[in-house]
């Protein structure tokens, strides 16, 4: 598969404050062992030879609190987390070390690298939680939900796999629904407003959600299942 990373840009900060000594140690010593082997021919190879019953992906895991909680509760699922912000990666590494998680792989870079390398129909679950809304019109092209990424997600997700999107920005919610309808590969699991007002099952919360609630913004929780075949123009 061609390496397309050279034509991609990652927007936003890669690092904030200086890492604390423990964080710096984990990034130096622990992170290399947790990077997925994207050249491996099997998912076991991605996880250092370990086999799991299912595989899940979190795109932009922020501080890692959601990913760590899910991984701890679902030890038979292999989780891949993507986050280019090194401070967030360091926070996740602390949680992995504290809980002894052996079912997590961490890609401290662009999630599109993972989507390009994953075999077809691999993932049982994908999380996109509070993605950067890029509110300015000229920045909308930076939003993760777009036609190209939805095609990639459709390819790597199994039929019946779940896609979870959470956002506290109404425009981003509308944008996501518009693009998902246009693609047609994902069935929205909602029949009433209460279906997207309630958090996902087993929801541990995230720090971004806490900030949204503190600012009195109302989150939306969108859950979709991957269709066997795309039906463009439908949800």
Alpha carbon 205 to chain centroid, angstroms: 14
pLDDT of residue 59: 97
Complete edge-to-edge strand list for the sheet that includes strand 220-226: 104-107, 77-82, 54-59, 123-129, 157-167, 220-226, 186-188
pLDDT of residue 137: 82
pLDDT of residue 162: 98
Confidence of residue 4 (pLDDT cuts 50, 70, 90): very low
Q: For residue range 177-190, what is the model confidence (pLDDT) as tens digits?
A: 999 999 999 999 99
Residue 92 · residue 61 · CB < 8 Å: yes
Confidence of residue 138 (pLDDT cuts 50, 70, 90): confident
Catalytic residues, which ones? 132
At the topology level, CATH places domain 13-226 in Rossmann fold (3.40.50)
Sequence spans of domains, the chain = 13-226
């Amino acid at each position: 598969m061609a390496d397309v990373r050279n034509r991609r840009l990652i927007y936003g900060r890669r690092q904030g404050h200086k890492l604390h000594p423990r964080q710096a140690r984990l990034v130096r010593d622990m992170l290399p062992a947790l990077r997925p082997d994207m050249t491996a021919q099997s998912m076991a190879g991605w996880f250092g030879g370990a086999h799991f019953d299912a595989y899940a992906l979190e795109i932009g895991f922020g501080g890692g609190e959601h990913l760590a909680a899910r991984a701890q509760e679902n030890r038979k699922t292999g989780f891949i987390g993507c986050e280019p912000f090194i401070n967030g990666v360091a926070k996740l590494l602390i949680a992995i070390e504290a809980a002894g998680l052996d079912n997590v792989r961490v890609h401290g870079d662009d999630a599109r690298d993972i989507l390009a390398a994953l075999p077809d129909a691999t993932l049982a679950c994908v999380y996109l939680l509070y993605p950067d809304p890029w509110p300015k019109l000229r920045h909308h092209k930076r939003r993760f939900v777009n036609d190209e990424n939805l095609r990639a997600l459709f390819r790597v997700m199994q039929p019946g796999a779940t896609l979870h999107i959470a956002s506290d920005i109404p425009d981003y919610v509308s944008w996501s629904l518009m693009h998902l309808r246009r693609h047609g590969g994902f069935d929205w699991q909602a029949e009433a407003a209460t279906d997207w007002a309630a958090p996902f099952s087993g929801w541990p919360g995230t720090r971004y959600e806490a900030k949204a609630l503190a600012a009195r913004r109302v989150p939306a929780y969108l859950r979709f299942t991957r269709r066997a075949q795309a039906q463009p123009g439908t949800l």
